[in-house]
Structure 1
Amino acid sequence: MGQTVSEAVIRRMHEWGVHRVYGYPGDGIGEFDGALGKAERKGEGFEYIRPTHEEMSAFMATAHAKFTGEVGVCIATSSPGAFHMITGLYDAKSDNVPVVAIVGQQGLASIGTFTQQEDNLERVFADVACYVQTITTPDQALAVVDTAFRTAIARLQPAVIVFPHDVQGMDVGELGAEHWVSRSSAVAASTRITPPQDELRRAAEVINAGERVTFLVGAGARGATDEVLAAADRTGAGIITALRGKDVIPADVPYHSQQVGLLGSLPSLHQIQDCDTIVLLGTNYPYGEFLPKSGQARGVQVDLKPEQLGVRYPTEVNLWGDVRSTLDALLPLLEQKEDRSWQEKIAAEFHDWEQEMERQAMLTFPDGGNPRRIFHELNRRLPEGAIVTCDAGTTADWYGHHIRLRRGMQGDLSGRLASMNGAMPYAIAAKFAHSDRTVICTIGDGAFQMLGMNELITIKKHLAAWDDPTFVVIVMHNDDLAQVSWEMRTEDGNPVWRTSQDVESVDYAGWARLLGFNGITVTKDEDAAAAVEAALAHRGVTVIDDVVTRNAPPLPPKITSEYRNNTVKAFAKGDPLAPQVLVDSAEGIVSEGIERVKGALHLGSKEG
């Protein structure tokens, strides 16, 4: 008995290892959805997760790729559903992960005739996707599917298949050796790329000549933890991780000083300012002001994305390869360094920094809870194998400053795109991928109100399927789009505009209870520890509604004159929150005063 194009595509997706898809139905993809339903009834389908919005499906597919190393797959109907997925697909593009999106289209005869829900989808997706193709004939279908998956894997980017409604239901036969017919295979291209030996020797010469080597490690080094540590041990290098690479290097490595930049640590900043050699491993770190000055340090970069080599810092050697294979080949060429003074200096500074972070977490504010406190208490209680997601905004500051991921733990967020609204779909996808592990979502109230609150409904639908139902959502309830409020002050010298910045206060714990979940409201810092303990002990979903001040400053490791002067300008222009901000900022700055003085002395600067 013959099969339809949709049935053939489903079988091919199985060959590509797909076992879960994130989709939202609609008439433009209806025939394909019907085939998915038929396959499910026969026990041959995928686990089909339907969130509350197509944007969530694309974010979930992106997160699935990040947390599993597999291709994420999302499905939506024609124009409106397809358009809704674009933000999530840009997240995949920005963070270099493979996703395949299948989007419906009106029938072939309607293309280009301005009928309802018919738009030029190939043109729409041309920028976000590394491959976009419409399936126009049954003979072409499998070649398009194979090329989409193969290209997404090789290019580490999203690919889009446009699937017209009438083609979805056409009959497909066996492909013969005919002109114009591609008989393709469901086999990925190898991505274990090792640079040539002469280039490896050049890189080794640069690294061996360094006395103060720093490794800047990103998410592109996932799977190469042991190799990075072996190279650091041989070269005496200090380690900094980009925010998305936080889980690549265990937090208990003493010379791993966590992140650098606005949400980084002072020891990481000192590493950058003092190193004579920097090695970028699987990172496209975008903040050039937090990289060494030109001419200060010699540079080597390793990345699987050749177009991203040498664009952040004037590196001498750019190695096109995956980090693990490249370091395997590079290690025999690296000289064993006996001098550990560089690593010891970093470790000593970071020990002091950790004490400072605890002091910051223990501060009290007159107008609300300290947002750092619950992250500090969570970090002390993270169970083995935990997965932590965070959203864009000040949530990312507290995550960077206080969460320390041990070996076996994972954490991620919308990185280069830095999109709000990512933490909840990321956490849900992580739970579907690893349902036996504890997942914690940390999110601001603004992002939670976008679509995050709705996704509790998705969790309610699927909770019974998870091996361990423990799922914790920590909502930073400050009634403010706090990161943007601070950026208005510190970047532009403008007062906060409350018309745009205020977030309507909502009983988030009550919303959780309405859905049958556990809801805990925290209004006092001293209750944060008990709330975290109760949430982690509860075999189910817990939403912690953490009521905190909107005025706690996300202080960078070094306060520059620009940061200070712009804030003063904002206050002078009539910032409506200036009195409270001054009090809360003073608390933070006084606590960090010792570190600020150290930083100023270290830099020979009058700033800070």
Structure 2
Amino acid sequence: MNVSDFLIKRLSSWGIKRIFGYPGDGINGIMGALSRAQEEIKFTQVRHEEMAALMACAYAKFTGEVGVCLATSGPGAIHLLNGLYDAKLDHQPVVAIIGHPARKAIGGNYQQEVDLISLFKDVAHEYVHMASDETQIRHLVDRAIRIAKAERTVTCVIIPNDIQTKEAVEVPPHEHYTIHTGVGHPSSIVIPTDEALQQAAHILNVGNRVAILVGAGAAKATEEVIQIAELLNAGVAKALLGKSVLADDLPFVTGSIGFFGTTATENLMNECDTLLMIGTSFPYAEFLPKEGQARAVQIDIDGRMLSLRYPVEVNLLGDSSETLKRLIPLIHKKPNNEWKHKIEDDVRKWRQEQEQLSTRKAELLNPQLVFKELSSRLPANCIITADSGSTASWYARELYFKDGMMGSLSGTLATMGCAVPYAIAAKFAYPEKTVIAFAGDGAMQMNGNEELLTISKYAQSWKNPNIIICVINNRDLNMVTWEQRMMEGDPKFEATQVTPEFNYAAYAESIGFTGIRIDSPEQVAEAWERALSANNPVLIEAITDPEISPFPDHVLMKKVDNLATSVSKGDDAVMKNTGHILQQKVEEKLQKVEAE
């Protein structure tokens, strides 16, 4: 057995069952070992190493296991970085295994020689090391996986290609300067002190208008979040990564928060006197209560994230589920009150408004309608992914998740091009489930089109080949267009914003998908029915109106001055599909500018 065989064997001992990657001569030894160990570990060939890292991140998100990606030396290793940063910033355990030129060539400006330790020192700063001797492989693998799991972070092992084919050293010699590690990471429960729990309970008990904000860290605490929300008569808002924590049919769930948030959530945060944050690092302070408005309690497993977004009075360091289990018995049931009724009324009003907005006229197709028509048809236990950009906004507000569903996107990094690789990883993790990805035309042209080939390659190996890619084709880098208008007061700059024409449905058809192209409201429901009942990969291309803002009107209202400036510079499309009140505000601002 050579070093590469031992590497694969050791990974398998840790429970690793799949590696995402792309071959190259810098990892020839490892590829040979994978070929000899196909029963133990499966290799997924992607189209680009960045996609391998994004898939490893998503695999970790959806399974709770360590994701592993593999790349060759030099350019292959460099390509991993963006996907690894996605994992790092969303606190996912991912191990990158990378090739390198032979040891005797290092330092000689050899082909594909890159200072990988320095390059990866930020993204994998908890653990990045290069093997200089075959005896190291055991402890490099063991420590990389153990640290990735313990710290919920990215680690990296670099293996020069001459070491990969050396004779394996399974047991290091029993002598000085040797390391003897073992396999296994113990499960543990982190809980706050009784004193901290009592202090937190007091704050929550005396509060009259309690708001709860959940993130990805509350994913395994669904039942406990429901219990404490019902005891406190609290409304619960969801950060993007916490969308699947609670089903949206619960009357106290106000939906998303922030730039993609609902008016129900905005009212909740503006009017609460007490805030409980659970497993979230939602970054935008302007959408949280004003400092001093609310007394706050926060629960997080990572002490570094406590009292980071809001000045918290009681910080509870611990697992969300276990902490809530110990906190709930200390909470007094609040009587039915006006706060509870107001929350539920705000949720109803928001949903009624969105129902009306989804049917508003548009050039070709209203993107909101595409999401609304799927929402009522979502299969039980399906998995949904979304890209960064306008699709993330519609995903956040318009899809009403059911109990048992999962969903994710690139949260903190917010990288383009994540939806399709995320969906592929989800399909490998749960091949029996329906997986649906939403991507914009910009993301598809960046890398999504290429990864459709990966789907085509592996679809028949999945128990249920039904995977659906929905492309929102508005011929525009739409989120940035609206950010230019809203944030800067600039008109749409067509040279940077308009994307090339491309027929995504036809392309998908050419590689074995069912391609469906829709451009009118009457086609939407039928398209989803057809896609959801298919027994093969499907791509829906929705030709949508770029002038329907992905930002809700109540968010745009705060940027009236900038929107008016954009209109004054000739961007009349800003006013095309905005609500009556917002249009009125913009016109009033324009009149003031002209009068001056």
TM-score, scaled to structure 2: 0.95
**Letter paired with 1:361:** S
Counterparts of 1:143 and 1:328 in 2: how far apart (Å)? Answer: 37
- Residue in 2 that maps onto 1:181: 178
1:568 aligned to 540, 564, 571, which one? Answer: 564
Aligned length: 583
**Letter paired with 2:373:** E
Shift of 1:593: 9.6
Shift of 1:60: 0.3
Shift of 1:102: 0.4
Please tell me whether the aligned partners of residues 567 and 574 of structure 2 are also in contact (alpha carbons under 8 angstroms). no
- Residue in 1 that maps onto 2:483: 487
**Letter paired with 2:262:** S
Counterparts of 2:493 and 2:163 in 1: how far apart (Å)? Answer: 52
**Letter paired with 1:111:** I
SS at match of 2:27: helix
- Residue in 1 that maps onto 2:433: 437
Please tell me whether the aligned partners of residues 510 and 519 of structure 1 are also in contact (alpha carbons under 8 angstroms). yes
Please tell me whether the aligned partners of residues 111 and 119 of structure 1 are also in contact (alpha carbons under 8 angstroms). no
- Residue in 1 that maps onto 2:455: 459
2:106 aligned to 107, 111, 114, which one? Answer: 111
Please tell me whether the aligned partners of residues 65 and 72 of structure 1 are also in contact (alpha carbons under 8 angstroms). yes
Distance 1:483 1:376, change over 3 A: same
Please tell me whether the aligned partners of residues 154 and 189 of structure 1 are also in contact (alpha carbons under 8 angstroms). no
- Residue in 1 that maps onto 2:594: none
Please tell me whether the aligned partners of residues 150 and 189 of structure 1 are also in contact (alpha carbons under 8 angstroms). no
Counterparts of 1:204 and 1:557 in 2: how far apart (Å)? Answer: 37
Please tell me whether the aligned partners of residues 91 and 417 of structure 1 are also in contact (alpha carbons under 8 angstroms). yes
Shift of 1:592: 8.9
**Letter paired with 2:343:** I
Q: How does 1:392-541 map to 2 (within 5 A)?
A: 392-541=388-537
Counterparts of 1:133 and 1:83 in 2: how far apart (Å)? Answer: 16
- Residue in 2 that maps onto 1:590: 580
**Letter paired with 2:280:** T
- Residue in 1 that maps onto 2:588: none
**Can you list the C-alpha shifts for 1:204-244, whole angstroms capped at 9, x where unaligned?**
12211211111100001111111111121222221111011
SS at match of 1:258: strand
Q: Gaps (5+ residues) in structure 1?
A: 597-608
**Letter paired with 1:550:** P
- Residue in 2 that maps onto 1:606: none
Distance 1:548 1:192, change over 3 A: same
Shift of 1:557: 5.2
**Can you list the C-alpha shifts for 1:59-89, whole angstroms capped at 9, x where unaligned?**
0000000111111110000110011010000
SS at match of 1:441: strand
Shift of 1:516: 2.0
Matched, 1:255 2:252: yes
SS at match of 2:267: helix
SS at match of 1:459: helix
SS at match of 1:519: strand
Q: Gaps (5+ residues) in structure 2?
A: 586-596
SS at match of 1:358: helix
Distance 1:502 1:593, change over 3 A: closer
1:284 aligned to 281, 285, 288, which one? Answer: 281
- Residue in 2 that maps onto 1:603: none
2:324 aligned to 301, 324, 327, which one? Answer: 327
- Residue in 1 that maps onto 2:6: 8
Matched, 1:25 2:60: no
Shift of 1:118: 0.9
CA RMSD across the alignment? 1.6
1:101 aligned to 84, 92, 96, which one? Answer: 96
- Residue in 1 that maps onto 2:63: 68
Q: How does 1:121-270 map to 2 (within 5 A)?
A: 121-129=116-124, 130-173=126-169, 174-270=171-267
| Larger deviation, residues 331-340 vs 156-165 | 331-340
- Residue in 1 that maps onto 2:593: none
Counterparts of 1:245 and 1:26 in 2: how far apart (Å)? Answer: 38
Shift of 1:323: 0.6
SS at match of 1:527: helix
Q: How does 1:358-377 map to 2 (within 5 A)?
A: 358-365=355-362, 367-377=363-373
**Letter paired with 1:102:** I
Distance 1:138 1:340, change over 3 A: farther
Please tell me whether the aligned partners of residues 221 and 323 of structure 1 are also in contact (alpha carbons under 8 angstroms). yes
**Letter paired with 2:366:** N
1:78 aligned to 62, 73, 76, which one? Answer: 73
- Residue in 2 that maps onto 1:272: 269
**Can you list the C-alpha shifts for 1:171-229, whole angstroms capped at 9, x where unaligned?**
12322432221211111143521112212222112211211111100001111111111
Shift of 1:4: 1.6
Please tell me whether the aligned partners of residues 112 and 119 of structure 1 are also in contact (alpha carbons under 8 angstroms). no
SS at match of 2:400: coil
Shift of 1:573: 2.0
Counterparts of 2:99 and 2:564 in 1: how far apart (Å)? Answer: 53
Shift of 1:256: 0.5
Please tell me whether the aligned partners of residues 469 and 541 of structure 1 are also in contact (alpha carbons under 8 angstroms). yes
Distance 1:8 1:527, change over 3 A: same
Please tell me whether the aligned partners of residues 220 and 323 of structure 1 are also in contact (alpha carbons under 8 angstroms). yes
